[in-house]
A and B are shown apart, each in its own frame.
Chain A
Amino acid sequence: MSIWNYVVTAHKPTNVTHSCVGNFTSPQELNLIIAKCTRIEIHLLTPQGLQPMLDVPIYGRIATLELFRPHGETQDFLFIATEKYKFCVLQWDVDANELVTRAMGDVSDRIGRPTDNGQIGIIDPDCRLIGLHLYDGLFKVIPFDNKGLLKEAFNIRLEELQVLDIKFLYGCAKPTIVVLYQDNKDARHVKTYEIALKDKDFVEGPWSQNNVDNGANLLIPVPPPLCGVLIIGEETIVYCSANAFKAIPIRPSITKAYGRVDADGSRYLLGDHAGLLQLLVITHEKEKVTGLKIELLGETSIASTISYLDNAYVFIGSSYGDSQLIKLNLQPDAKGSYVEVLERYVNLGPIVDFCVVDLERQGQGQVVTCSGAYKDGSLRVVRNGIGINEQASVELQGIKGMWSLRSSTDDPFDTFLVVSFINETRILAMNLEDELEETEIEGFCSQVQTLFCHDAVHNQLVQVTSSSVKLVSSTTRDLRNEWNAPSGYSINVATANATQVLLATGGGHLVYLEIGDGILMEVKHAQLEYEISCLDINPIGENPHYSQLAAVGMWTDISIRIFSLPDLNLITKENLGGEIIPRSVLLCSFEGITYLLCALGDGHLLNFLLNMESGELTNRKKVSLGTQPITLRTFSSKNTTHVFAASDRPTVIYSSNKKLLYSNVNLKEVSHMCQFNTAAFPDSLAIAKEGELTIGTIDDIQKLHIRSIPLGEQARRICHQEQSRTFALCSLKFSQTSSEGSEVNFVRLLDDQTFEIISTYALDTFECGCSILSCTFSDDSNVYYCVGTAYVLPEENEPSKGRVLVFIVEDGKLQLIAEKETKGAVYSLNAFNGKLLAAINQKIQLYKWMLRDDGSRELQSECGHHGHILALYVQTHGDFIVVGDLMKSISLLIYKHEEGAIEERARDYNANWMTGVEILDDDTYLGAENNYNLFTVRKNSEGATDEERARLEVVGEYHLGEFVNRFRHGSLVMRLPDSEVGQIPTVIFGTVNGVIGVIASLPHDQYVFLEKLQTSIRKVIKGVGGLSHEHWRSFYNEKKTVDARNFLDGDLIESFLDLSRGRMDEISKAMGVSTEELSKRVEELTRLH
C-alpha cells in the first residue's frame, strides 16, 4: 500500500443519537428528523408510514439537534451544534426543495475545559435565546432579537462545575434554566437561574432543590399549564416546581432517553438501560399536580432517543441495537406488553470488532461484525451484492430447466413459465387474477423432460425434448409440426431462438433446423468427432431473430468451436485446456462489444472477445465464480442486457465503461434462472433454488446486504478459522437476576454457515476475553484458537492478572489444550514466526509453543519488550511489530532471531491515544486515535542520524469523524484480475457509529489527480449549514489543528456522480478533463466498495 490514501464510506453511520419531530419541510407536514452522528435524515409522516426524504451529510459530529419555531414563522427551524463547536440554523425552503442556512457560527472559546458529560444545547421555549454548555463553568447565550435573528453570543459564569443536565423552564417571564449538578461531595442538586440578557448574567432563580436522587442524570421540563421539571433518578422520579414537589419510587434503572407524548406534558415515555419502555404520567387537577404514576409498557431496543410520532406510533432511536418503529397498543399482548415492534432499522453500531472472511471463496470479503451492546448484541454479516427481492415462492423440488414463453409474438409480456423436471414438464401461467396457476400447452409433450423452449416467429412456440422438436401455435396451443430425432439417437442438448434451432444428438451429431410458418426444416447436419456438451445461438448480430454464429462446447478435447450458420462451417476452435468440460456457452453483447462466455463444470468462467466477422476469439480471461457447474442465461433489466450465472454462487455479469463486471447475488445456490416478465410481476426473474421456485425482481445496483444474527449478549472479539469452518467469539452476557446485575464472559464457537453456537467455554468470575486469534505454531500441524483474557477486579485500576488460553476444535467442540497465566490483560494476540506474540499491559511478550516430555504442549515465554503505557493494538509483518499504545501513539519494534530479543526500532513521539493500528506496507503504518482522526507514519530507514531513524515520521493526517475500533486488510468487492480497481490494496475499518469504511492506497499520479478533483468539487458542493469541508477534514485534537494531507475524502469525490450535468461540466472545465472521463474515473472508484 502507499501513503496516498483514499477514504470512503461503504456503510454509513446507523447509530441514532438524536431525533425530533416537527413541521420542518412544510407547515402542514410532520417530519421525523434523525441524527446519525455525522448525518441527519429527514422523514415524512404519511398514511403509509415513515417515508424517507433526505439524507444530509453534516461536516461535523452532531452534538445537539433541536427543532424550534421562531416568532412569526409557520415552519420549524433546525438547530444543529457540532462537537467542534460550530452551529447552524437550517430552514427548509419549500419552493426550492433546499436546505437554507439561516444562521451559523463558531461558539468555541479559546480557553475553557470541555465538559465531561457531553455538550448541552437548548433553546428557550419562548425563543428568546439559545443556551449552550460547552465548557465547565461557562454557559453561553446566543440571544434572538425581536425579529428572530441571532445576535452576538456571550458567556455567563456558571458556578456549578459538574453539570449533569440543563433545561429551560416553561412559562417563565424571563428565560430560566434549571441545572442538575453534582457537588464535590458527590451529592446531586437542582438549581434554577434566570438569565438577565441585558446584564449578561444569571439572577438567582425561583427555586432550587438540594439532595436529589444520587443517580439523577436527566431533567425533563414540563410545558404549560403545569410547568416545572421532572428529575429522573435511578430510584426515584421527582416532579418539582416553585410550588409543588411530588416523588415516586421506581424500579432501579438508568433512564437513557425520554419522549414527550402529550403537548400539555402530562405523559412521557422513558427508555432505560435494559431497553424497557415505561410511561410516566403526571396526574393533575387542572393546573395543580397531584402525583406521578409509572407503568411498564414493554421492551424495545436500548433507546438513545424516543420520539412520539402520531396516532400511537413511536420512533425508538438506538445506539446499541436496531432502531425501531413501535406502536403503543391499548391492550397488552399475551406477554403483557403494550409495545408492538413494527419496523426495525438496521444499526451496526457499535462495531467493536470484525473479521473479513471469504466464506464463498469468491475472492470477495464478507465482513462479520461484533455489533451492538448489552442485550442488543449481535453478529452482522455484511456482504456486497445484487439483491433479489422475492415476491413469491413455491416449493418445487427437482427443477431441471425453466423457460418463459409469450402467448403471441408481439405480446410485450410473458405468459407461460415452462418448468422442466427429470420426467415431466409443467406449465405455469398467470391467470386473470394475476395468480400463477398450472396450465397446459396441448401441443407440448408434458410427460418428459424439456431440454429447451423458446418463442418462435409466426405466433409459435418451440419445445425440444430428447426425442423431438415440437412447433406449437401459441394461440391455439396445438402442434403444428414436429421434427423427430433419428431412431436410435436421442437429443442431448439443444438451443433455439425465434427462427433457428440447434441441437446435438449422441455420437457428435449436430443438427441445424430453421423455423417457418408451421414448418420445421432440417437445414444442415454435421458430424463432430466428440460428444457435444453445450451450445448456443443467441442472436447478437444485426438481426435480433437470427444468429449467423453458433457456439459449441465439446467433451473429450475440451474445446469451444464457433460455426457459421446456416452452413455449419467450423470457423474457430479454441482449446480450453485442463480437464474440466464446458457446461454452458453464451454469445452475448454488452455496450456494443460481443463476447463469448463459457462456464466450466468447476465454477470457473472464461470470457473471450468475439469478432463477429471472423469468428475469432481473443483476450481470454478466467474468473472463479463458484465451485459447481454454471448455467448462463441472459436477461434484460432497464433495457440493458445482463447475464445471470446460476450456480452455487449465483453471479450477475454486466458491463460498465466497456468492462465486464461481476457482482454476486444475495442468494445461495441457484440451479436455473429465466426472465419472467409478466404484467403482474414486471421485470421479474424466475429462480429455481434449493427445492423452490421463486419469483422476484433484481436490484439494478449492487449494495451491501446485511444479515443479523442476534446473540442476546455482547460479542467483543471475533475470529474465523478456515480449517474448522468456525467462528470463535469472546462475549459477555449481563444477567439481571440479582439486583446488582452481574456479567458472565464466554468463549463461544459458531458454525460459519449456520452461525449456530456449537460450543461454549465459560471464563472465570471477573475474567473477560480481550483478544482472540486463530493460528498455528512451528512444528505442530494443528490449528488453534488462542484467547487472551484479563481478570477485571473491582478494586484494581488496571488488571494485574490474565490468561492465554489455547483451544483446539475437536468434533465441533472447544477443547482447552494449554493455558498460561499472565501479569496483566492480554490486549492483543498475534501469530508471529510460528510463535505467539501477546500484548500484556505495558509489555510485548513472545511465547514459544513447547512440547513437554509427556507429549503435551505448553506456552513458554521467550522474550519481551517493556516500555509502553498500555500496548493495546499490535500488528506484525515479518519480524516487525507495530504497537498502538493507549497514549503514546505508534511504535515499531523488531524481533532479533539470533539474540532472541525484541527491540524498539522507532516511534512516533506524538501523544496520540490509539484506537487501532494497521500495517499498510513495509514502511507505512496507519493509526486511528480517540479524537476521531486517522494518521499514517513512515519508517525512515535512510535517515542520516540515529535520532532520525528512531523517529516515525507522520506523513498523513485526516479527520475521519468516526471512532475506529478495528482495521483489517480485505475487500468488500470481488477483486478481478482484469479490473484496475482490483490492483488497489484496501483496508476496511469499523466504527462505533456502525460505519464500515474502506481505505484504498492509490498510485501517486491518481492521488494527485483526485486531490485536484476534490478541490474542484469543494467549490461546487457546499457544506450544509455553511460548514467547511476543509475544516471538517483537518486533523484536530486538543493540541493542534492541521490541514488534512495524504488522505482524500472519497465520499465527497464520489458525490460528483450525484451532481447535475451542469455542475459536472463546471468541475470538468476547472479540471480541464472531459465530464465523461471524470465520471468514468469516479465510477471506477465506487467499485472499491
Chain B
Amino acid sequence: MDSLFGDWPSFDPHNFSHFRPSDPSNPSVSAICPVSLPPYRVKNSTFHCQKMTPTTYCPTHSRTLPPSDQIITTEAKNILIRNFYGRGEEKLRPKRAAAQLLDADHGSKQPRPCDPVIELID
C-alpha cells in the first residue's frame, strides 16, 4: 500500500518548501512575535479577514481585443444545408474519382478493434 502514497510528483522542489501553515481554523494569524512575560500565548482574533486578496485587474490597454481574424463565429451554413451541398458535390464528381479513392488507403480494410477483453477484478 505504501507505494500508492509515496513519490508525489514534484515539478519544483522549492515550491511550498518554506510554507508555514497558518491555523487552518483561522486564516488571519500571520506573524508570531515572542513575548517573554509568562504566561504568554498567541491569540486568535474572534473576527478574521481574508488573507488572500489579490489586486483586482482593470485592463485599459488595447490588446483586450484579439486580432481581427481571431474573432470567431460559427459558419452560417447549418448542418442540413451543408449535407445537401456535400451530397450535391459528390454527385457531380466524375466517377473516376471514386475509383481513385478506392486506391487510396481509405479503401483498404482497416482492422476493426476487437471486442474489449472483459475482466472484472475485485
Contacts and interface: CB of A to CB of B under 8 A. Distances in A.
A267 B5 CA distance: 10
A1002 interface: no
B74 interface: yes
Contact of A706 (B2, B49, B55, B79): B49
Nearest to B44: A390
Contacts of A155: 74, 78-79
A1059 B58 contact: yes
Given A243-B116, A707-B48, A310 B24 contact: no
Nearest to A23: B11
Interface in B34-50: 34-37, 39-50
Contacts of B28: 387, 389
B119 A245 contact: yes
Interface residues of B, number: 80
A461 B96 CA distance: 109
Nearest to B2: A330
Interface in B64-122: 64-66, 69-75, 78-79, 82, 86, 113-114, 116-122
B34 A279 contact: no
Nearest to B40: A394
A48 B21 contact: no
A388 B44 CA distance: 11
Contacts of B42: 390, 392-393
A240 to B, nearest CB: 7
Interface string A38-57: 00011101111110111111
A674 B20 CA distance: 31
A1024 interface: yes
A45 B13 CA distance: 11
Interface in B1-54: 1-2, 4-6, 8-22, 24-25, 27-37, 39-50, 52-54
A1026 B57 contact: no
A531 to B, nearest CB: 37
Contacts of A281: 4
Contact of B74 (A109, A311, A703): A109
Contacts of B9: 261-263, 308, 310
Contact of B4 (A43, A243, A293, A388): A293
Contacts of A683: none
Given A49-B19, A100-B63, A345 B46 contact: no
A1024 B33 contact: no
A153 B20 CA distance: 48
Contact of B116 (A207, A344, A667): A207
A668 B6 CA distance: 47
Contact of B57 (A103, A680, A1024): A1024
A428 interface: yes
B15 A30 contact: yes
A666 B47 contact: yes
B66 A103 contact: yes
> Is chain B's binding surface mostly helix, strand, loop or mixed?
loop
Nearest to A386: B49
B35 A393 contact: yes
Contacts of B43: 390, 393, 692, 694
A330 B2 CA distance: 8
A101 interface: yes
B74 A392 contact: no
A995 to B, nearest CB: 14
Nearest to B42: A392
B86 to A, nearest CB: 8
A52 B21 contact: no
A54 B55 contact: yes
A681 B15 contact: no
A383 interface: yes
Nearest to B113: A242
Given A100-B63, A694-B43, A680 B33 contact: yes
A247 B30 CA distance: 47
Interface string A43-75: 101111110111111000000000000000000
Contacts of A704: 49
A258 to B, nearest CB: 16
A996 interface: no
A650 to B, nearest CB: 12
A346 B33 contact: no
Contact of B46 (A104, A342, A668, A1024): A668
A105 B37 contact: no
A445 interface: no
A12 to B, nearest CB: 9
B50 A156 contact: no
Interface in A1001-1025: 1020-1025
Contacts of B2: 330
Contacts of A291: 121
A1058 B54 CA distance: 13
Contacts of B27: 343-346
A99 interface: yes
A96 B61 CA distance: 10
Contact of A707 (B10, B41, B46): B46
Given A338-B5, A393-B43, A1059-B58, A107 B63 contact: no
A295 B1 contact: yes
Interface in A1022-1064: 1022-1026, 1055, 1058-1060, 1063
Contact of A106 (B48, B59, B73): B73
Contacts of B5: 279, 295, 328-330, 338
B47 A437 contact: no
A627 to B, nearest CB: 19
A242 B116 contact: yes
A338 B4 CA distance: 12
Interface string A71-110: 0000000000000000111000100101111111111110
B45 A343 contact: no
Contact of B56 (A57, A106, A109, A262): A57
A451 B118 CA distance: 88
Interface in A711-732: none
Nearest to A326: B24
B54 to A, nearest CB: 3
Contacts of A199: 86
Given A437-B36, A706-B48, A142 B8 contact: no
B75 A153 contact: yes
A105 to B, nearest CB: 3
Contacts of B12: 30, 45, 310
A57 B57 contact: yes
B79 A313 contact: no
Given A52-B52, A387-B47, A1020-B60, A438 B37 contact: yes
Contacts of B65: 101, 104, 1022, 1026
Given A47-B15, A291-B121, A703-B49, A392 B64 contact: no
Contact of B70 (A48, A103, A241, A666): A103
B61 A153 contact: no
Contact of B47 (A279, A295, A707, A1023): A707
Given A243-B114, A249-B122, A98 B35 contact: no
Nearest to B122: A249
A1025 B64 contact: yes
B74 A49 contact: no
A48 B18 contact: yes
B116 A387 contact: no
Interface of A: 30, 41-43, 45-50, 52-57, 87-89, 93, 96, 98-109, 140, 142, 149-157, 199-200, 206-207, 209, 240-249, 261-263, 267, 279, 281, 291-293, 295, 308-313, 324, 328-330, 338, 341-346, 381, 383, 385, 387-395, 428, 431, 433-438, 666-668, 680-681, 692, 694-695, 699, 703-707, 1020-1026, 1055, 1058-1060, 1063
7 contacts: A30-B15, A101-B66, A311-B17, A313-B15, A328-B8, A704-B49, A1021-B58
The 3 closest A-B pairs by CB, nearest first: A105-B72, A52-B54, A1022-B64
Given A47-B17, A338-B5, A436-B35, 4 more contacts: A292-B121, A311-B8, A381-B47, A706-B47
